[in-house]
Amino acid sequence: MTFGKGCHLHLIDGSAYIFRAYHALPPLTRKSDGLPIGAVAGFCNMLWSQLANNKGDDAPTHIACVFDYSSKTFRDEIYDQYKANRPELPEDLRPQFPLTREATKAFNVACLEMEGYEADDIIATLARQAREAGGEVTIISSDKDLMQLVGNGVEMFDAMKSKRIGVDEVEEKFGVKPDRVIDVQALAGDSVDNVPGAPGIGVKTAALLINEYGDLETLLERAEEIKQPKRRQALIDNADLIRISKRLVTLDDHTPVEWTLDELEVRAPEAEPLMGFLTQMEFRTLTKRVAEALKVEAPAIPEAPAVPVSHDAEEEAPAPDQPPFDHAKYECIRDAGALTRWVDLIRERGYVAVDTETTSLDEMRAELVGISLSVIPGEACYIPLGHKQGGGDLFGSNDLSDGQMGLDEALAILKPVLEDDAILKIGQNMKYDWKIFARQGIQVGPIDDTMLMSYAMHAGQHNHGMDLLSERYLSHKSIEIKSLLGSGKSAITFDRVPIDEAVKYAAEDADITLRLWQAFKPNLHRVQVTTVYETLERPLVPVLADMEMAGIRVDGQVLSRMSNTFAQKMAGLEAEIQEIAGQPFNVGSPKQLGEILFDTMGVEGGQKGKTGAYATGADVLEDITTLEDVNPDAAKLAATVLDWRQLSKLKSTYTDALQTAINPDTGRVHTSYSIAGASTGRLASTDPNLQNIPVRTEEGRRIREAFIAGPGMRLVSLDYSQIELRILAHVADIPQLKQAFRDGIDIHAMTASEMFNVPVEGMDPMVRRQAKAINFGVIYGISGFGLARNLRIPRAEAQGFIDRYFERFPGIKDYMEATVAFAKENGFVQTLFGRKIHTPEINAKGPHAGFARRAAINAPIQGAAADVIRRAMIRMPAAIADLPATMLLQVHDELLFEVEEGAVDKLIATARDVMEGAAHPAVHLDVPLVVDAGQGANWAEAH
DNA sequence: TGCGTCACG
DNA sequence: GACGTACGTGACGCAC
C-alpha cells in the first residue's frame, strides 16, 4: 500500500517510554537469572496495548517505533554542554536497551534508529513526509520537545495517561501555538537537557514576550524596548545563547532517513517469534494476554512474577494496605523452641526486621537487653535477655527477671540467621544494632536500613528518625520511649522496664521497621535513588561501625594538664576583666557582658537580639577592640574577654569534655557518625564531635597533641586539596579553573590574576586573600553583603569584585542560575553522583528565599565532595586489608589512619590512590583530585 | 528548652 | 525598594 491520503502513521517515541517504564516500575528481574527487565516489561505492555487499541477508524495503517541511537548528536557540536547535566545511566537500565529493540521486532513493528540523530529528529522527519504525502500522524509520546510538531494533521498521544495532546493542550502548556513553541523553549531553556536559554526567564515570561512581539527574532531585535530592566538585560546579554538554544530545541525534519513510509505499513504480529520473546522474558501475564489475542497456546513459564501496573514516574507510591497495629499480637519469646519457630519463619521468608534494646545509646558501653524481630506486618516478637528485677527504683536488684532465655543460648540460635548471606536483615539505623551484635561476636549481613532509605529519598524534607517516619509514612504514632524510661534525672535504663511493657514497645519497633521497608523499597526506584542508596549509604554502615569501634587513643593526662593551665589563665583574665569593669560579673554570660559594655561603659552601636540581650559575638568584640582612642577601657575589656572566651571554649568543650569521653575499657574515644544527619550527604560526628577539634589557632591546635597513636604506631592523615573548588570547576565547567587545577598552580592566585590583571608571580598577599574569599563565597552562594563582611570592606566594593568575577568566569553565574532554576522546577538539587537534596523553601517569598537559594547552590558542591569521600571510605577497608592499618576518623575532606610504623609509606600510597580515584568510574572529573598526606606520633603532627 | 557563641570543613 | 544574608555541622553555658 502506497502511503498517501487516508493513511495514518503512528510514531512511537521508544526511548522515552523505556525511561518512563524504568522509573515507573519497581525493579523487576527475570526470575530465572536475575536479569533486570522492568523497563522491558513496561515497554512491552505499552506497545501491546497500543497495538491492541488500534482498531476502528482511527487505526494506523503504518507504524514505527523510534529510538535514540547514541548520546552524541549534532547538537553536541552546537553546544558542548547539551544534556551535560544528565545523570549517569542507571546500571540496571543499560542492558535493557537491546532487549527493547528485540521486543519491537518481536511485535513485528518497524524499529528505527540512526546514528547522530535523536529519536525526535527522525520522528519530525517522518511526520513531515507523511503530511506531505497527505496522511495523518499520531506521535505516541508525551515529550514536550515533540510538541512543536503538533498541528496540521499531527497530534500526540500520551499512552501512559491515555491522553490526546493537540494544539489546545500544547498551548496550555507553553502559552503559545505549537509553531512558536521552539521560541519559548529557546528563551526559557531547559535545565534537564541543559539548554541555557535566557537567565531568569521561564516558560511563562517567555510566552508573554513571544505573544507580545510575535516571534523570537523580532523580540531579540527589539529587545531594547522591553520595559522590565532585568528582562531587557537578560535578552540583550544572552542573544547569542538564546539563538544557540533555539537551534538546540529545533527538531531537524530533514534527517536522511533510510526508510520509506511504505516500509512502515502495519504488519500483524507473528505468533512464533512474539511468543518466543515473551516467554524468554518470562512475562507471564502478558504472554497469556497475547496468546489469547493471537488464539494460540500460551507456553508455560515456570514461576514468573506478574507484570505490575504502572505508576507515574518520580512519584512515591503510598504505603500498601497494612493490618492495624495490635500490641496484643506481639509475642514474647522465652524459650529455644519458640525462637526456633521464628527462625524457621525467617528462613522461609528470606528477610527479617531486627531491633535491639540496650541500656545505653553509646554502643560501646551498652548492654544487650533484648531483641525484637518481625517478618510479617502486624506480627512481631520480643526476646527479653537482660531484664532485671525490681523496676526502676534505687533498690532494684541486679538479679535477672524470670522467664528469659540465656543470652548465649539465644544468640547461638540467631547467629546463623544474622550472618546468613541469603537472609536480609532490615533495621532502622542499623549501624547501632550492627555494633551491638559485633560486640557479641556476630557480623550482621546483608542489611537494609530504613533510615538510610528515607535519607536517600527525602534528604532536606525532614529527619529520618523512626517516630517521624512511622507517623509520616504509616500514619502510626509509635510508643514513646519516654513513657517507659521517664526523662531527666529519674530516667531508668531499658533493663529495668518490666518485660510485658518492653514487649509492646520493642516488638512494635520491629513491626514499624518492616512496614517502613515494605513502603520504601519500591519507591527507591521511583525516586531514582537506588544507586545512591546502594553505593553511598548502605555500604557505609559496616565501614563506619568499624571505625567507631576502633576509636582513637587519647591521652587523658595531657588533656588534664591543659585543663589546669587553661583554668589558671582564665582566673587571671577574669580578675583583669572584673577590674576593668569595676564590678564582679559572670564573664560567661553574654547578657551581663553586653550590659556592662553598652550600658555601663557607654560603647555605642549595641545591637539587641530577639531575646533583648546585646549581641557580643567575636565580630562585635573585635570591633570594640579598635576603639582604643575613644573608649580604651572597653577596648581592653573586649580584648581580654576574647582571650577568656577562647580558653573557656577550649577547656569546656575539649580538654574537660574529652577526658570524660575516654572509654575506660579501651582507653580510646569512640565517636558516633550520623550518616543521615546532614542534608548534603556529609557525615556528622557526635558524642563527642571529633570533626571540630581545634586547628586554626596555635593554642587550640595543641589539643590535637592529645590524640595519639598506640605503641609502635603512627597516625597518618590524608586530605583532599580544594575538593569543593575542584568540583565547582568541573560542574560549572570553568576552563581557566580546570586548567589551573590540571597544571597544579595556586588556584586563588590564578583567580586574583584573572580578576585584577596582575601576574601570579610576586602577587600581593592581600589581593590573593580577597580572591580566596571570593572563591569560597562562590561555593556558599555569594552575596555582596556576605563578602563585604568577610573581607571587612565596603559593600559596594565587594559587589564590584563579584561582578568582575562573574565577568571573568561567566560559567559560574550560569551554573548558579541553572541550579536555582532546577531547584525551583523540581524541588530538589542533585550531586554528580545522583544524590538528591530537597529544597522545599526554594519557592518561598521573603528573607527565607535568600537562604534557600544559597543552600541550593551550595548543596550539589558540598554534597558531591561528601559523595567522593564516602566512595573512598567504602573502598578503603578492602584496599588496606593487607596492611597493619586502621581507618579511624573522617573530617569531611580528611581521613585519619593508625598504622604500624613500618607501613606508613605503603599506607599513604594505597590510601591516596583510593581517595584520588574515588570518583571513578561513576563520574569522570575534568579536574584531578589531589590528596595531601602527613604522619606523626599525634594528630597535630600528622595533619 | 532556646539562644548565643564558637569549634571544624 | 526593602528585606536580611555567606554553606554545612555539634556542644557548651546561660537564662528562662
CA–C1' A590–B2 (A): 15
| Cα A176 to Cα A213: distance, rounded to the nearest angstrom | 12
Task: Give percent of chain A above pLDDT 90.
Answer: 71
Helices A239-249 and A181-188 sit at what angle, rounded to 10 degrees?
A: 130
Residue type, A506: A
Q: What is the pLDDT of residues A564-611, one digit of tens each?
A: 999 999 999 999 999 999 999 999 998 999 999 999 999 988 888 778
Candidates A530, A526, A527; CA nearest to A91 is A530
| Cα A416 to Cα A425: distance, rounded to the nearest angstrom | 12
Closest residue, CA to C1' of B6:
A649
Q: Measured between alpha carbons, how far is residue A155 from residues A13, A19, A45, A59, A619 in Å?
A: 13, 22, 22, 14, 64
CA–C1' A802–C2 (A): 22
Please give the grid coordinates belonging to residue A304: 514468573
Q: CA torsion, points A83, A85, A91, A92, in degrees to nearest 10?
A: -70
| Strand C footprint nucleotides (protein C-beta < 7 Å) | 3-16
Per-residue buried b or exposed e for A602-632, using 16+ beta carbons within 10 Å of the residue's own CB: ebeebeeeeeebbebeeebbeebbebeeebe
Please give the grid coordinates belonging to residue A207: 510566552
Q: What is the pLDDT of residues A887-911, one digit of tens each?
A: 999 999 999 999 999 999 999 999 9
CA–C1' A652–C13 (A): 9
| Strand B footprint nucleotides (protein C-beta < 7 Å) | 3-9
Candidates A777, A788, A771; CA nearest to A736 is A771
Q: What is the pLDDT of residue A572?
A: 94
Average pLDDT for A75-98: 78
CA–C1' A676–C11 (A): 19
CA–C1' A437–C10 (A): 28
Candidates A33, A217, A63; CA nearest to A139 is A63
Confidence of residue A234 (pLDDT cuts 50, 70, 90): confident
Q: Which of A4-13, A52-61, A408-417, A788-797 has the lowest mean pLDDT?
A: A52-61
Closest residue, CA to C1' of B3:
A611
Using C1' positions and the CA of A460, the closest nucleotide is: C8
| Cα A914 to Cα A929: distance, rounded to the nearest angstrom | 11
Q: What is the pLDDT of residue A391?
A: 56
Answer whether residue A132 shows pLDDT above 80.
Answer: yes
Q: Measured between alpha carbons, how far is residue A422 from residues A425, A513, A572 in Å?
A: 10, 19, 66
| Cα A244 to Cα A240: distance, rounded to the nearest angstrom | 6
Angle at A873 between CA A833 and CA A542, to 5 degrees: 105
Q: What is the pLDDT of residue A306?
A: 39
Whether A253 and A182 have beta carbons less than 8 Å apart is answered as: no
CA–C1' A233–C1 (A): 19
Burial of A792 (0-12, 13-18, 19+ CB in 10 A): exposed
Using C1' positions and the CA of A641, the closest nucleotide is: B5
| Cα A782 to Cα A791: distance, rounded to the nearest angstrom | 13
Question: In what side-by-side order are the strands of the sheet with A136-140?
Answer: A110-112, A62-66, A8-13, A136-140, A154-158, A163-165
Which residue has 575516654 as its cell numbers? A662
Q: CA torsion, points A393, A399, A405, A409, in degrees to nearest 10?
A: 130
Whether A479 and A508 have beta carbons less than 8 Å apart is answered as: yes
Which residues have C-beta within 8 Å of that of residue A881, sequence separation ≥ 6? none
Closest residue, CA to C1' of C14:
A589
Q: What is the pLDDT of residues A722-732, one digit of tens each?
A: 999 999 999 99
CA–C1' A608–C4 (A): 15
Closest residue, CA to C1' of B4:
A590
Q: What is the pLDDT of residue A648?
A: 93
Closest residue, CA to C1' of C7:
A780
Per-residue buried b or exposed e for A71-102, using 16+ beta carbons within 10 Å of the residue's own CB: eebebeeebebbbebeeeebebbeebbebbeb
CA–C1' A613–B5 (A): 13
Q: What is the pLDDT of residues A278-300, one digit of tens each?
A: 998 888 888 988 998 888 888 87
CA–C1' A511–C12 (A): 38
Count of CA atoms in the C-beta half-sphere (13 A) of A575: 5
Confidence of residue A305 (pLDDT cuts 50, 70, 90): very low
Domains of chain A: 8-264 (3.40.50.1010), 327-527 (3.30.420.10), 529-551+671-734+823-943 (3.30.70.370), 553-669 (1.20.1060.10)
Confidence of residue A98 (pLDDT cuts 50, 70, 90): confident
Whether A548 and A672 have beta carbons less than 8 Å apart is answered as: yes
For the beta carbon of residue A172, count every other beta carbon within 10 angstroms: 9
Q: What are phi and psi of A610, to 5 degrees?
A: -75, -20
Confidence of residue A65 (pLDDT cuts 50, 70, 90): very high
Q: What is the pLDDT of residue A393?
A: 53
Q: Helices in A250-350 by DSSP H: which ranges?
A: 271-281, 284-294, 336-349
Using C1' positions and the CA of A612, the closest nucleotide is: B3
Residues in chain A: 943
CA–C1' A587–C12 (A): 14
Residue type, A484: L
| Cα A432 to Cα A453: distance, rounded to the nearest angstrom | 16
Answer whether residue A257 shows pLDDT above 70.
Answer: yes
Answer whether residue A460 shows pLDDT above 50.
Answer: yes
Using C1' positions and the CA of A689, the closest nucleotide is: C10
Closest residue, CA to C1' of C4:
A847
Closest residue, CA to C1' of C6:
A786
Q: Measured between alpha carbons, how far is residue A52 from residues A46, A644, A730 in Å?
A: 10, 81, 48
CA–C1' A691–B2 (A): 24
CA–C1' A356–C7 (A): 37
Pairing assessment for the beta strands A331-332 and A379-384 based on DSSP bridges: parallel
Calculate Rg over the CA atoms of chain A.
33
Answer whether residue A7 shows pLDDT above 90.
Answer: yes
Using C1' positions and the CA of A893, the closest nucleotide is: B9
Helix H or strand E segment including A684: strand A684-686
| Cα A547 to Cα A911: distance, rounded to the nearest angstrom | 15
| Cα A752 to Cα A771: distance, rounded to the nearest angstrom | 5
Answer whether residue A313 shows pLDDT above 50.
Answer: no
Helix H or strand E segment including A780: none
Please give the grid coordinates belonging to residue A572: 587571671
- SS3 call for A775: helix
Which residues fall inside 7 Å of strand B, measured at CB?
A: A 590, 594, 609-611, 613, 615-618, 620-621, 642, 645-646, 649-650, 653, 691-697, 700-701, 862, 891-894
Q: Helices in A425-498 by DSSP H: which ranges?
A: 430-438, 450-458, 466-474, 481-485
Answer whether residue A85 shows pLDDT above 70.
Answer: no
CA–C1' A798–C4 (A): 17
CA–C1' A595–C14 (A): 15
| Cα A765 to Cα A775: distance, rounded to the nearest angstrom | 15
Residue A34 zone, left/alpha/beta (φ > 0; ψ -120 to 50; rest):
left
More confident residue, A612 or A488: A612
Count of CA atoms in the C-beta half-sphere (13 A) of A591: 4
Confidence of residue A803 (pLDDT cuts 50, 70, 90): very high
Answer whether residue A308 shows pLDDT above 50.
Answer: no
| Cα A845 to Cα A824: distance, rounded to the nearest angstrom | 12
Confidence of residue A395 (pLDDT cuts 50, 70, 90): low
Average pLDDT for A97-114: 92
CA–C1' A617–C16 (A): 21
Q: Specify the DSSP class assigned to residue A630.
A: T
Closest residue, CA to C1' of B5:
A617
Average pLDDT for A101-113: 93
Burial of A556 (0-12, 13-18, 19+ CB in 10 A): middle
| Cα A642 to Cα A648: distance, rounded to the nearest angstrom | 10
Which residue has 533498690 as its cell numbers? A395
- SS3 call for A450: helix
Burial of A765 (0-12, 13-18, 19+ CB in 10 A): exposed
Q: What is the pLDDT of residues A327-378, one digit of tens each?
A: 999 999 999 999 999 999 999 999 999 999 999 999 999 999 999 999 999 9
Closest residue, CA to C1' of C3:
A847
SS3 content of chain A, % helix, strand, coil (to 5): 50, 15, 35
Answer whether residue A33 shows pLDDT above 80.
Answer: no
Question: Strand ranges (DSSP E) for A152-304?
Answer: 154-158, 163-165
Answer whether residue A650 shows pLDDT above 80.
Answer: yes
Q: What are phi and psi of A521, to 5 degrees?
A: -50, -55
Candidates A469, A479, A515, A472; CA nearest to A377 is A515
Using C1' positions and the CA of A590, the closest nucleotide is: B4
Average pLDDT of chain A to the nearest whole number: 91
What is the separation of C-alpha A204 from the centre of its chain, rounded to a whole number of angstroms? 30
Question: Strand ranges (DSSP E) for A507-634?
Answer: 552-554
Answer whether residue A791 shows pLDDT above 70.
Answer: yes
Average pLDDT for A301-327: 63
Using C1' positions and the CA of A858, the closest nucleotide is: C7
Using C1' positions and the CA of A781, the closest nucleotide is: C6
